Chains A and B, each alone.
Chain A
Amino acid sequence: AQSVTQLDSHVSVSEGTPVLLRCNYSSSYSPSLFWYVQHPNKGLQLLLKYTSAATLVKGINGFEAEFKKSETSFHLTKPSAHMSDAAEYFCVVSDQTGANNLFFGTGTRLTVIP
């Protein structure tokens, strides 16, 4: 079975400081992992994905995530937060069936303080 755990329900950072959103996964297989972002009243936008290629994955808007098998983690980072980064972030794992359904974490709400 696949699942992800997002360790923080809410993270607050000052503008210009680093962002770290934590995610641990559980999977019976070599997982495909994703980070999606949801801005208020908007749909889900893919930030980045890991599919067993490079362990450090770069996404849009300066975000990146590192797949660490030994720690079963896929934390999302950004060197310098921007006000527009304020949103809900979801860590997601894909199952390995043909349909590749997605299983979402509970989300982390990122607040950026000016």
Chain B
Amino acid sequence: EPEVTQTPSHQVTQMGQEVILRCVPISNHLYFYWYRQILGQKVEFLVSFYNNEISEKSEIFDDQFSVERPDGSNFTLKIRSTKLEDSAMYFCASRQTSHETQYFGPGTRLLVL
């Protein structure tokens, strides 16, 4: 069964460094998402992406964040200058059409020191 994959599974970085989290959505999916889950808190929507542009973004998704689909398979989340509070599990999700289920990847655990 096709699945969403994410790399790396864990990343440790120093505050102020740039990080890129990578996701490979399911191949025929058209809608892409990033969510995050700070330890002990609920999963929060960050951004949705469709037709090579951002569809919607939350208040969390400020100028330090960006997303890109650099080729036909990858979907990346970049944090330009990481802060301590960016430490979280980041989930990528994808969906085929606007009314289908979102399928989640296993997540990348980011730790900012």
9-residue interface stretch from A12-20, A21-29, A71-79, A94-102: A94-102
Contact A98 B33 (CB under 8 A): no
Q: How near does chain B come to A23, taking the closest CB pair, in angstroms? A: 13
Contact B31 A99 (CB under 8 A): yes
Residues in A with CB closer than 8 Å to B98 are: 98-100
Residues in B with CB closer than 8 Å to A107 are: 42
For the complex, what is the distance from the CA of A90 to the CA of B42, rounded to whole Å? 9
9-residue interface stretch from B12-20, B62-70, B75-83, B102-110: B102-110
- In the complex, whether A51 has a CB less than 8 A from a CB of chain B is yes
For the complex, what is the distance from the CA of A98 to the CA of B49, rounded to whole Å? 11
Query: Which chain B residue shows the least CB distance to A98?
Result: B98
Query: Which chain B residue shows the least CB distance to A94?
Result: B102
Residues in A with CB closer than 8 Å to B45 are: 101-103
Contact B91 A101 (CB under 8 A): no
Q: How near does chain A come to B43, taking the closest CB pair, in angstroms? A: 4
Query: Which chain A residue shows the least CB distance to B106?
Result: A43
For the complex, what is the distance from the CA of A24 to the CA of B41, rounded to whole Å? 18
Query: Which chain B residue shows the least CB distance to A97?
Result: B56
Further pairs besides A43-B105, A51-B99, A103-B45: 6, Cβ < 8 Å: A36-B104, A97-B56, A99-B48, A99-B50, A100-B99, A101-B45
